[in-house]
Amino acid sequence: MKTKILTLTGLLPLLPTAAGFAQQERPNIIFIMSDDHARQAMSIYGHPVGQVAPTPHIDRIGHEGAVFMNNYCCNSISGPSRAAILTGKHSHKNGFMKNWAKGFDGSQQTLPKVLQQNGYQTAVIGKWHLISRPTGFDHWMILNDQGDYCNPHFITENDTTQHTGYVTDLITSFTKEWLDGRDKAKPFFLMMHHKAVHRNWVPAERHYRLYENTHFPMPDNYFDTYEGRFAASKQEMNIYRDMYEGHDLKMVTGTDSRTLLFDPWPNAFLNTMTPQEQDRFFEAYRERNNAFYSHPRTSGEVAEWKYQRYMQDYMATVKSVDESVGEILNYLQETGLDKNTIVVYTTDQGFYLGEHGWFDKRFMYEESFEMPMVMRWPGHIRPQTCVEGLTQNIDFAPTFLDMCGISAPEDMQGISFKPLVEKGKTPSGWRRSLYYHYYEFPGFHSVRAHCGVKMERYKLIHFYKEDLWELYDLKTDPTEMNNIYAKKGTEKITGTLKKELVRLQQQYDVPKEYCK
């Protein structure tokens, strides 16, 4: 569901425009990125889910700055999105097309490297997920692969250490520690990358029961039958069919039991907890797990129950991320850094919260294609700015460089959207289409490889291995249930979109072999 941004009227006075700050020092940048945080779950976007479980601190960034209404990724999966952000290039150009194929080529040009060459101090703390070691950072402290929620290991240059605590809280304190100890003579670029809100959605202990009595609004298309959509019918990411009942849904084998139902990596997430922490975990879920067995349920009722359990845990992990953002904003305010620090909050890609019956991402359908984003930069971005133009993760690097007064290397494919955020409107001549390409098939969740083009109203998707096409009219069918490809009356728009797809593939220099 596309929703309107919620505004807080009269929140803040208008701040001076860019010109008024022309002589100011170069800005710092804090790029906060979480993992798999759906737009539906960020209350500033006004979706019913966000209203039930709000994210006030993340929203604050958007209220005091800009909220992006049409920001998208180029390949909806973690490693490839991160690689696109670092390089400003589509996956086929930066070489990181799938999560698990090979490590990121850290010898290439990247945003932190260019900033470093121009006198910036750079750091990345949290999830990295690019297999090879980070390059271009003065300081890095990363999770091992996906990382653990409880008492996770962090890897640094010469060391791997397990730390006590909840992953989101630890990443926040390590970030503040780095900010405290940094070289204050230089501007900085800091990437704080949360593991949350990634599967298997283990909340902080203080939030285990936060939403236990909250009823989340279920999407109308939860029981989608995928008519006319071959790839959608073949995926393996149904909440009620594919979620692991033990690992993901924390369901146990019977009343009072401590044995998880199906868990493909037996107790993996429990194993990093102490025995006392495990006790408290099972205790927190005990009543709810008992209640599940209190009466017989139909398969439809079980599917609805699973949706609620999924959402209760997912939103509880969101809560800690929101608290983390609040802590960072407070830190900036207390230290006076807030005045000249660009703060961004986004996530590596969108996510399904039950739409089409799904969790996970990968498809070019809106929920996983979009990347919700808010950005604050006092004096440059007016409060409550709404960015409507089409923006993409390949634009982040050239935009940040532009904001720091540094020209982007020519091989970056994205374009700076600084004028859109500063002016609060889309300049004429701004791009009118976006290119997308997902490669990881065969792979987790069985989503077929596809590429596609999105224009303001229509979207065309090509599942090229099967040579199957899908066309959606987002105005009349925002939830993409009705594939109108080859339907009478769509010939003209199909022709336009096909031409645009070819034009974009040429512009971005996509090798033909990747589209077969």
- Interacting residue ranges for ligand SGN, rule: CB under 6 A: 35-36, 77-78, 99, 129, 198-200, 360, 444-445
Q: In a 3-state reduction of DSSP, which class is residue 509?
A: coil
In the chain, count H helices and then E strands.
15, 16
- Residue 46 contacts residue 5 (beta carbons within 8 Å): yes
448 interface partner picked from ligand SGN, Ca ion, none, CB below 5 to 8 A per type: none
- Pairing outcome for strands 153-156 and 139-143: antiparallel
360 interface partner picked from Ca ion, ligand SGN, none, CB below 5 to 8 A per type: ligand SGN
Distance CA 114, CA 57 (A): 30
Closest to Ca ion by CB, 323 or 348: 348
Distance CA 500, CA 498 (A): 5
Distance CA 331, CA 172 (A): 11
* Only segment of 122-130, 311-319, 340-348, 488-496 that touches Ca ion (CB under 5 A): 340-348
* Only segment of 72-80, 203-211, 375-383, 436-444 that touches Ca ion (CB under 5 A): 72-80
Is residue 59 near Ca ion by the rule CB under 5 A? no
The residue at minimum Cβ distance from ligand SGN is: 78
Shortest Cβ 385–Ca ion spacing (Å): 26
Rg (C-alpha) for the chain, rounded Å, is 22
Shortest Cβ 440–ligand SGN spacing (Å): 9
Question: Residue 116: CB partners within 8 Å, gap ≥ 6?
Answer: 122, 136, 137, 138
Closest to Ca ion by CB, 35 or 263: 35
312 interface partner picked from ligand SGN, Ca ion, none, CB below 5 to 8 A per type: none
Closest to Ca ion by CB, 36 or 323: 36
Closest to Ca ion by CB, 50 or 79: 79
99 interface partner picked from ligand SGN, Ca ion, none, CB below 5 to 8 A per type: ligand SGN
End-to-end CA distance of the chain: give it in Å, rounded. Answer: 32
Q: Pick from 64, 348, 355, 500: which binds Ca ion (CB under 5 A)?
A: 348
Is residue 35 near Ca ion by the rule CB under 5 A? yes
63 interface partner picked from Ca ion, ligand SGN, none, CB below 5 to 8 A per type: none
Using CA atoms, how far residue 97 sits from 231, 413, 437, 476, in Å, is 19, 16, 9, 32
422 interface partner picked from ligand SGN, Ca ion, none, CB below 5 to 8 A per type: none
199 interface partner picked from Ca ion, ligand SGN, none, CB below 5 to 8 A per type: ligand SGN
Shortest Cβ 210–ligand SGN spacing (Å): 21
CA-CA-CA-CA dihedral for 375, 149, 103, 435, to nearest 10? -40
List strand residue ranges (DSSP E) for 287-340, in order.
none
Phi–psi pair at 319, nearest 5 degrees: -55, -45
Q: In a 3-state reduction of DSSP, which class is residue 110?
A: coil
Shortest Cβ 75–Ca ion spacing (Å): 11
Place of tokens 């997430």: 269
